[in-house]
Structure 1
Amino acid sequence: MGRAGGLAFIWNKELDCTLRTESVHHIDVVVKEGEREWRVTGFYGWPTVTDRHLSWELLRLLHGQSDLPWLCISDFNEILYSTEMKGGSRAQWQMNNFQAAADDCVLKDVGWEGYQFTWDNGQAGEANRQSMIDRAMCMGSWVDLFPYAKLIHLTREWSDTHLLS
């Protein structure tokens, strides 16, 4: 969508990946690695607060479509806790709605490495705002397959995207 938003899914050719569903807000794929089968969703949350409920509705819909171990890598455009924001403030109800959707979908944070904040408004001094709106969340069954996985926050000089290692 111009120079903002959008999703891409790139995979190693040794993986058997099957596209399940897609929209401007998600790409949902089943991955087969030998005997292992799991699901990964690239997710882009609605950027406007008034539409954010649509993000949580889509997340719940996607959750209900499969019992496979699930990883959701995302720009949720929302934070779970006030500690995930530097400068400014966030309404508690916004975080509560995200927390409820994550709980309903049995998703837990994978864990991350690097600089905490993945978004910056680009302003200096007191006007600077940063938050951790990008994250990887998964079901416990996915952690069972990949117990050492973590999200790596890349430095801004290279990209604002992320790698899972």
Structure 2
Amino acid sequence: MMKRLLILILAAALCAGCATVRSGEKGSGFLHSFSEGRRLASARSALENGDEAGATKILESIVSGPPVPGVTDEALFRLALLTLKPSVERPASPQGHQLLRRLKKEFPASPWSVQATPLVELIGAADELRRQNRNYRTTNQTLNREVGELNRTINDLNKNLQQLKHLDLELEKKR
């Protein structure tokens, strides 16, 4: 009796497993989720070993496929981090922003979306500061040109003043 029950449970479990793998549909079911999870693990491993190019390639292939909750959301976040890398000289990549927006749209309840929210805000603030800095540089260049012109005008006025003083002295001598 116990052996029969065990066989029945095992058969039910196997049938349930088979039911989750839909043949004929690419990218669906348990096997696809499992393989994408393994690919994500290999991308993480590549990142830990310093192979950003290899990790980027794997992550790009994951995010270009059908979405797998728990895998694609993390892949989107990690790929966005790899493509963003803003610096003082160069603004953040638009592709990174796009990946973060996709993450927030397709996986709003994901913990990776929660982490993406302040990141998007910080990147937006950094972009705004870069824009303001460019405006200040332009204003500073304009002001420097105007100061140069004013200095030339002051020098011309000083020369004219010296000439007037000299003429005034000459006139005083002639009187």
Q: When the two structures are superposed, what TM-score results if normalisation uses the length of structure 2?
A: 0.28
**Higher gyration radius (CA):** 2
- Relative contact order higher in (CA < 8 Å, ≥ 6 apart): 1
The structure richer in strand per residue is 1
The structure richer in helix per residue is 2
